[in-house]
Structure 1
Amino acid sequence: MIATMPAYLLMLLWIAAAADVRGRRVPNWLTLGGAVVGVILQMAYAGIGGLTTAAAGFLVGALILMPGFLLRATGPADVKLLAAAGTVLGPYHVLIAGFSSILVGAVIAIGIATATLAMRAARSPWHRYAVMLRTLSVTGRPVYIPPAADEVMATRFPFAVAIALGATLTAAWAGLLGGIGVQP
């Protein structure tokens, strides 16, 4: 990996996370432009093989979060951000980064849900879950009941932070950051 790729990856991820925290959106110029720069860096590093790596990483990154997007659990910018990171990380490492991001997101969501329930009288999701489980057991068909606006599970958070944390941890674990903030 060329020396600029780790710095570029961290810059892309953390600027996106900051934008998501600040304005609850990640701009297209950052995600799509980030993917283009990732492809260019991969091609500078490995020629036409870099193009293949970047394209496969983009596809895997997008596919990991696509179910969450289709279920309205994540936004389109989250899908595009992980796909853009995939152009730099490649398919194998973006797969690990994607699942790491989902785990980090789950921890953040549990923390937010716990704090929200402790701070105010938000409605608990357990009744809704029981109705979904009862429907499944009686009819044999799964049903999804979306959370009400005042339910704790309706609370949204900037998922780009989870992506930035998950991808940064994955890159550090895989030794892809070189000397940037990682000591052997």
Structure 2
Amino acid sequence: MIFIWLAWIAAIGIGLLFGARLGLLAGFLLAAVFTDMETRKIPNWLVLSGVVIGLLAQVFLLDGEGIVSALKGLVFGFGLFLPLYLLRVMGAGDVKLMALVGCFTGSPAIFGVVLCTLLAGGVLSLVFALKLKMARKMLSNSIFMVLPGAAKIAGDKPSTHPAGVNSVGTLPYAMAIAVGTASYLIWQGI
């Protein structure tokens, strides 16, 4: 719980530097990162309050883009991550967190944010696997996932992996969402 308060204090500082809307977004992202790292969950109350504040920020703050942009960002953020949840690649909290990000960034920016988030997730996963000394297993899992699709395209019968696929661990994906969002916003010059 103390991490959430520290996140809000950091958000106030970011808000003073870059504007209230992005400061609020930073606060929600930092709170989500800390809770995801600690509990491996992103609480619904955090996401719901973030969505409400994001919608209000887009409408009432001077740097906001309006309610239509916020709603489009919410729908696109949710929709772009939903297939990953359905494939069991990420959790529902991550999908809802990306919808929250869409509320704050709006519809034009959410596509770049999602792309940067996926790139950040790949880099962080590699760093995570190297830290756990599981990079070889991660590479083996990746090859096993690609080979059946390649065999199907070539018309061959897919082979089975003798050892099976074992996870090398899970990454608190709120971290990738925060890094991807910050990277995109910095790249766009905030």
- What amino acid does structure 1 have at the position aligned with 2:96? K
CA distance in 1, matches of 2:31, 2:86: 25
Q: Which residue of 1 aligns with 2:58?
A: 42
**Residue 48 of structure 2: aligned partner:** 32
Distance across 1 between alignment mates of 2:113 and 2:143: 33
- Within 2, Cα distance between the matches of 1:37 and 1:70? 27
- Aligned equivalents of 1:50 and 1:17: distance in 2? 27
CA contact (8 A) 1:116 1:122 kept: no
What whole-Å deviation, never above 9, does each CA across 1:23-72 have from its counterpart, x for those lacking one? Answer: 100000111210111001111137xx711011011011112211211111
TM-score (norm 1): 0.78
- 1:9 paired residue number: 25
Call closer, same or farther: CA 1:42–1:118 in 2, change over 3 Å: closer
CA distance in 1, matches of 2:98, 2:52: 13
| Structure 1 counterpart of 2:101 | 85
Match of 1:180 in 2: none
Instruction: Mark the runs of 5 or more structure 1 residues left unpaired by the alignment.
Output: 177-184
Residue correspondence of structure 1 range 1-184 to structure 2 within 5 A: 3-45=19-61, 50-118=66-134, 124-125=140-141, 128-129=144-145, 132=148, 133-138=150-155, 150-152=166-168, 155-176=169-190
User: What's the counterpart of residue 7 of structure 2?
Assistant: none
Q: How many pairs align?
A: 170
Cα deviation for residue 88 of structure 1 reads 1.0
Aligned CA distance change for structure 1 residues 131 and 98 (closer, same or farther; 3 Å):
closer
Deviation per residue, 1:52-110 (Å, 9 max, x gap): 01101101111221121111111111111111111110011121111101000001112
Q: What SS is found at the alignment partner of 1:56? A: helix
Is the CA contact 1:123–1:150 (under 8 Å) kept in the aligned structure 2?
no
**In structure 2, how many angstroms separate the alpha carbons of the residues matched to 1:174 and 1:122?**
32
Secondary structure of 1:125's counterpart equals helix
Q: Give the TM-score taking structure 2 as reference length.
A: 0.76
Cα shift at 1:114: 3.3
Give the superposition deviation at 1:7: 0.9
Distance 1:65 1:157 in 2: 16
**In 2, Cα distance between equivalents of 1:36 and 1:169:** 24
Could you say what secondary structure the match of 2:151 adopts? Answer: helix
Q: Which stretch of the first structure deviates more once superposed, 118-127 or 84-93?
A: 118-127
The verdict on how the C-alpha distance between 1:115 and 1:22 changes in structure 2, with shifts beyond 3 A counting, is: same
Give the gaps of 5 or more residues in structure 2: 1-17
Residue identity opposite 2:110 in structure 1: V
> Contact 2:141 / 2:166 at 8 angstroms: preserved in 1?
no
